[in-house]
């Protein structure tokens, strides 16, 4: 059992608190936000402290960290907090719902894996990956770091997903594809070919659209 500090005080942090409290052996002991966002000193009956000094109040030797944030800026915001907390010396937990189906898959740190995800055998998940509810993650796949799956995505077997990619709701990926770094797959898109880095893919069959992904998310 770890004593955990959660980054944030908005919806995702509140959800993380709920999931850890009701469905894990870990204990949430505090929240932290950047000082400029520190409006309240208490949330869910627990202290909220400035991220800039969190390590002096909750030393990394005694406490673990969890930053289950959104995919904004193509996961770069979450990556920054993850790396900053790592530089302070924290180790991270990952949350894997008891209602997810997993098969001893290697899963990295600071992952947030919600209910009804199926991760089939021989698929690996990197660090700082979010699988919101209800995705099918096919067998013999590789999901690298800082990736975000929203909900009801079908990633077929043998796919490699490079870092920073984002999958909109109900998107579908054919088997054996390589999803290039920072790919944004739009909601309901049907991806039939491997993707180029930092492209936005929409439609069925999905086509690359001239929308810079960093402007959208
Ligand atoms: C692809 C996406 C990022 C584009 O966002 P955007 O740049 O704000 O696009 P807009 O909503 O302004 O739409 C621009 C055009 O693309 C079309 N479009 C938007 N999303 C589309 C999609 N998924 N498939 C096909 N066309 C789409 C719009 O109808 C609009 O067409 P128009 O110019 O003919 O009116 C967004 O639509 C998307 O799919 N986001 C993922 C949402 C999601 O999964 N959320 C889950 C909760 S986290």
Q: What is the pLDDT of residues 140-153, one digit of tens each?
A: 999 999 999 999 99
Q: With 80 as the cut, is the pLDDT of residue 174 above it?
A: yes
Which superfamily does 95-217 belong to? Hexapeptide repeat proteins (2.160.10.10)
User: Can you give the pLDDT at residue 111?
Assistant: 98
Q: Is 71 known to sit in a ligand binding site?
A: yes
pTM above 0.95, yes or no: yes
Tell me: the pLDDT tens digits for 9-43? 999 999 999 999 999 999 999 999 999 999 999 99
Domain positions in the chain are 3-87, 95-217
Please give the Cα distance from 149 to 171 (Å, whole number): 9
User: Can you give the pLDDT at residue 215?
Assistant: 77
DSSP secondary-structure letter at 92?
A: B
Q: Tell me the average pLDDT of the chain.
A: 97
* Residue among 117, 83, 61 at smallest CA distance from 7: 83
Report the nearest atom of ligand 1 relative to the CA of 167.
44
Collapsed DSSP state (helix, strand, coil) of residue 167: strand
DSSP secondary-structure letter at 164?
A: T
The residue whose CA is least distant from atom 44 of ligand 1 is 168
Report the nearest atom of ligand 1 relative to the CA of 217.
3
User: Can you give the pLDDT at residue 56?
Assistant: 98
Q: Which of 15, 70, 114, 187 to mutate to test the pocket of ligand 1 (most atoms within 8 A of CB)?
A: 187
- 134 pocket-lining for ligand 1 (C-beta < 6 Å): no
Collapsed DSSP state (helix, strand, coil) of residue 15: helix
Band (pLDDT 50/70/90 cuts) for residue 216 is: confident
- Extract the tokens encoding 17: 């608190």
Q: With 90 as the cut, is the pLDDT of residue 217 above it?
A: no
Please give the Cα distance from 126 to 91 (Å, whole number): 15
Tell me: the pLDDT tens digits for 39-95? 999 999 999 999 999 999 999 999 999 999 999 999 999 999 999 999 999 999 999
Alpha helices in the chain (DSSP H): 11-23, 54-57, 76-87, 213-216
3-87 architecture in CATH? 3-Layer(aba) Sandwich (3.40)
DSSP secondary-structure letter at 169?
A: T
């Amino acid at each position: 059992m770890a004593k955990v500090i959660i980054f944030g005080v908005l919806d995702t942090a509140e959800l993380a608190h709920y999931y850890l409290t009701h469905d894990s052996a870990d204990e949430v002991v505090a929240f932290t936000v950047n000082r400029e966002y520190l409006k309240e000193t208490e949330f869910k009956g627990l202290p909220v402290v400035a991220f800039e000094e969190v390590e002096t109040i909750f030393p990394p030797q005694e406490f673990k960290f969890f930053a289950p944030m959104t995919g904004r800026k193509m996961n770069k915001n979450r990556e920054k907090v993850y790396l900053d907390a790592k530089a302070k010396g924290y180790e991270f937990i990952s949350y894997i719902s008891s209602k997810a189906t997993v098969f001893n898959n290697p899963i990295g740190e600071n992952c947030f894996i919600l209910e009804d995800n199926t991760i089939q055998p021989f698929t690996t998940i990197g660090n700082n990956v979010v699988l919101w509810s209800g995705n099918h993650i096919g067998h013999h796949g590789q999901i690298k770091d800082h990736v975000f799956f929203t909900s009801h995505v079908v990633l077929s077997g043998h796919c490699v997903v490079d870092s920073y990619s984002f999958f909109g709701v109900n998107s579908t990926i054919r088997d054996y594809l390589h999803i290039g770094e920072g790919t944004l797959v739009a909601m309901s898109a049907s991806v039939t070919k491997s993707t180029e880095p930092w492209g936005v893919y929409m439609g069925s069959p999905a086509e690359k659209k001239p929308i810079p992904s960093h402007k959208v998310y």
